[in-house]
Chains A and B, each alone.
Chain A
Amino acid sequence: MYNQTVIPPDRVAVKVLDRLPRHDTIWDMRMMPDDTLYIGACVEHTSGMSAWLCSYRHDTGKIEYLADMADVTGERNDSGHPTQGKIHFSLCYDNDGLIYGATHCTTPPKGEASWPPFSMYCDPIRSFPGAYLFVHDPKTRDTRSLGILTPHEGIRVMVMDRDRNLLHITTYPKCHYLIYDLKKKTLKDLGRFAHLHQLALFLDRKGNAYTTDSFGRLFRVTADTHRIENLGVQLPHAPFRSGEHNILWQVARQPSREVVYGATYVRDARMFRYDMETNEMTDLGLACGRREPLPIPEEVAIGGMTFGKDGFLYYTTAEGREPEDLPRSNPPPPFDPEAKQEFPWRRRTPGHLIRYNVETGDAEDLGVVTSEGIPFNGRSCHGMTDSTGNIYFNQSTGTPPRFYVYSPERI
């Protein structure tokens, strides 16, 4: 069913953060209006390391390593606490061009194999101190901390309402919804909204913010009153599911419409269309038009979702089984570009790039993504588009971290 041809090398290029050879994940990418891509290079499995803020410009092909979160926050990587090892779905920019972001937890303390967030929540030594808000000024290249917003909690997702200078924030592991006013420097905790897991949040033009609870039930936080309003619609899921764990994962706003396209999180990940004006949710089925859920334990991953300049919706996909036990060696196995096969334990299909026509519902599989002998594993959490139409998507896991740039043919 999939197009097994490889996307031609003149269309796709891999960009490797090779100065961070032990970082293993990218959990954030954000395209700024000047076509600079900001990247959060993270550490999921290796202890005692900190996240880096990086940037990339396709016109120069240059990756810049802007800030080490250990330096920005003043939290040493050997502090005994979990480190400031992630920048997670939080990069955003204000009307002055300043870049905001937040750190996130779960990178283990130095020398330890794992870090359980609940067991250590209040431990005097091994607790996470809290996520730091930070701001980067592209003009001065200065990155500075704005402090911890809430103790012990990481920041999972953050988006900015630029009209009101508000940051809409969700935390982990206690899953609270926060609103931080950058001008007044006030923090409002709207309380808990889901069980644990939350991965996406989007705004409409009026500044209302949308996300889902643990059952994929959509709610919004009103722009002016900051009330949580349940919208009475649920993300699509297979009939045998209750919707639990079927949370918002990918969201791409259709240009000039109050409509988003999105996808739910793994396990029969489904695409949907949601109209913010009419509150209508439409199930678009599985990736590539597959309508029937895959037999357990197969799974479909949809990621890297973004609208291209050509009006098509681009996203990545792969099918395959989760590894039974993800190796967590410390340090991780060295990256070997010659091996040309990463994660041999993952029995999943290669990553594909899909182009979806939102008018007709036709999905075109553009083929297998690979570049310079480095195959894309099909797991991506962010897709971005620059002003010239290039499509960027990260590979969520991989050492060193990497992302791919696809240049569509001009239509």
Chain B
Amino acid sequence: MARKRLDLWSASFVEEGYVVVRELGFEGILKPVPDEESAILSLVPGTDGKIYGLTHGRKSHLFVYNNVAVEDCVVPIGITAEDVSGGDLFCTSKGIVYGVVWGEPAGEDEPLPMTMFRYDPCRDLVSSEMAMIFGRIEEIPCPFAGRRISKLAFDPSRDTAYGLFLPDNVLFALEADSGNVTEFGRVSEGIVSKMLCLADGVVYGAGDGGAVFRMDPARGKIEKTAMTLPCGKGKWYVNEASALAYDPPSRTIYGGTLLDGLFFKIELERERVVCVGGPTEQRPIRCLTVGRDGKVFGISGEPKTGVCHLFRYDPETSDLRDLGIPHSTIVKCWTAHEIDAMCTNRNGHIVMGENDRMSHLLVYYPPVEAR
């Protein structure tokens, strides 16, 4: 049956499953993180089952989202730094949350303002509205000496974060506890993906022309592989991965490209890259997460000039589907346009972080499959 014409106006919103929007504050109790400070850079699951998030803007806030039935709330923990334009978070095996944020230098010859911090949730309880302790963010010495870095990939088995020094594309490792930084050399000449992925303790990335490289920390050497990321014919020289996520059971790295918005998978067993396709007409793929059932969820959308769509890839059926624009009327009417962070929580819900002047968490509840 054809849908009514008026239905067309909302037909682009997510309808399979359900989306709930959360302000970055305990609804009705705590003042949320203000506009212009709420744009979400990073979301990471903590060992306590909660989701930790980092914002940027005039001030950068660390917050925690406790997505359980009796205590479904966001609690802003504190301010990490002011005038922040980039940063990332990771959570160690001991449950300590580390973060690094940076701003823009005041002048051409000025150093990059960077702040490194840690937050220990074990000491600072975040609980219900009856007993809420915000905790304390502890600034620690920043080991990057003002050098610009990429997004970080974290290996909880070694409690080590990996990243690239930019623009030189030098791969480094940061030991969380000691703060020691080890450099492994330049991954490639030319354009390099600003994104790394950990797979079974090995670091993967894409260098010049989308050529996939790996670095096994046990050996400490960067190795080229025969695999390259997919792209439109002739565009290889500017090809980059814009999102990567690893699924350990299938030993598959899922990824998306910046240039064409293509979704692909790197099958590590077979040492091959499979281009699955473009989930929407927009590019790039901005973030990815693997659900607890092995389905992959991602966000596709042009920054600023487009509108983000949530998509899903089912490895069982090879179905790549545009689920639509994340929209919710709970707890308020909201349509997300810009999303750059997502992760999967302990219940298999997909948590998305908006990256806009007024930003929220959007929690996607995947549908229950019919038998």
Q: Chain A residues in contact with chain B, CB under 8 A?
A: 113-119, 121-124, 151-152, 174, 190-193, 195-196, 214-215, 228, 230, 242, 244-245, 325, 328
Chain A residue with the shortest CB-CB distance to B5: A114
Verify if B340 is at the interface (C-beta below 8 Å from A).
no
Give the residues in chain B near A122, CB-CB below 8 Å.
280-282, 302, 305-307
Bitwise, B1-16 to A at CB < 8 A (1) or not (0) is 0001110111111000
Sort A-B residue pairs by CB-CB distance and give the 5 closest, nearest first. A191-B357, A119-B12, A116-B8, A114-B5, A118-B12
Q: Which of A113, A114, A121, A214 contacts B332 (CB 8 A)?
A: A214
Q: Which of B12, B305, B356 contacts A116 (CB 8 A)?
A: B12
Which residue among A115, A116, A124, A214 has the maximum number of chain B CB atoms within 10 Å of its CB? A116
Verify if B325 is at the interface (C-beta below 8 Å from A).
yes
Query: In the complex the two chains form, is A191's CB within 8 Å of B36's CB?
Result: yes
Chain A residue with the shortest CB-CB distance to B301: A122
Q: Which of B6, B302, B333 contacts A195 (CB 8 A)?
A: B333
Verify if B200 is at the interface (C-beta below 8 Å from A).
no
C-alpha gap A325/B6 in the complex (Å): 9
C-alpha gap A294/B29 in the complex (Å): 31
Give the residues in chain A near B56, CB-CB below 8 Å.
none
Query: In the complex the two chains form, is B11's CB within 8 Å of A119's CB?
Result: yes
Q: Chain B residues in contact with chain A, CB under 8 A?
A: 4-6, 8-13, 35-36, 280-282, 302, 305-307, 325, 332-335, 337, 356-358
Q: Which of B5, B36, B307, B337 contacts A113 (CB 8 A)?
A: B5
Give the residues in chain A near B334, CB-CB below 8 Å.
195
C-alpha gap A196/B13 in the complex (Å): 14
Given A114-B5, A117-B9, decide whether A192 and B332 contact each other with a Cβ distance below 8 A: no
Give the residues in chain A near B306, CB-CB below 8 Å.
121-122
Give the residues in chain A near B13, CB-CB below 8 Å.
118
Chain A residue with the shortest CB-CB distance to B4: A325
Query: In the complex the two chains form, is B281's CB within 8 Å of A193's CB?
Result: no
Give the residues in chain B near A151, CB-CB below 8 Å.
305
Chain A residue with the shortest CB-CB distance to B356: A192
C-alpha gap A65/B257 in the complex (Å): 50
A156 vs chain B, min Cβ distance (A): 15
C-alpha gap A193/B11 in the complex (Å): 24
A4 vs chain B, min Cβ distance (A): 33
A116 vs chain B, min Cβ distance (A): 4
Q: Which of A116, A195, A328 contacts B9 (CB 8 A)?
A: A116
Query: In the complex the two chains form, is B305's CB within 8 Å of A196's CB?
Result: no
Give the residues in chain A near B305, CB-CB below 8 Å.
122, 151-152
Chain A residue with the shortest CB-CB distance to B8: A116
Q: Which of A113, A119, A192 contacts B358 (CB 8 A)?
A: A192
Query: In the complex the two chains form, is A195's CB within 8 Å of B335's CB?
Result: yes
Query: In the complex the two chains form, is B332's CB within 8 Å of A196's CB?
Result: no
Chain B residue with the shortest CB-CB distance to A213: B358
Given A114-B8, A122-B302, A328-B5, decide whether A192 and B281 contact each other with a Cβ distance below 8 A: no
A-B contact pairs, 13 of them (CB 8 A): A115-B8, A116-B8, A117-B9, A118-B13, A119-B8, A122-B282, A122-B302, A122-B307, A151-B305, A174-B307, A191-B35, A214-B333, A325-B4
Chain B residue with the shortest CB-CB distance to A197: B333
Query: In the complex the two chains form, is A192's CB within 8 Å of B337's CB?
Result: yes
B210 vs chain A, min Cβ distance (A): 24
Given A152-B305, A328-B5, decide whether A244 and B12 contact each other with a Cβ distance below 8 A: no
Chain B residue with the shortest CB-CB distance to A176: B357
Q: Known contacts A119-B11, A122-B280; can you find 18 more A-B pairs with CB under 8 A?
A: A113-B5, A114-B9, A116-B9, A121-B306, A122-B281, A122-B302, A122-B307, A174-B307, A191-B356, A193-B35, A193-B358, A195-B334, A195-B335, A196-B333, A215-B332, A228-B35, A244-B332, A325-B4
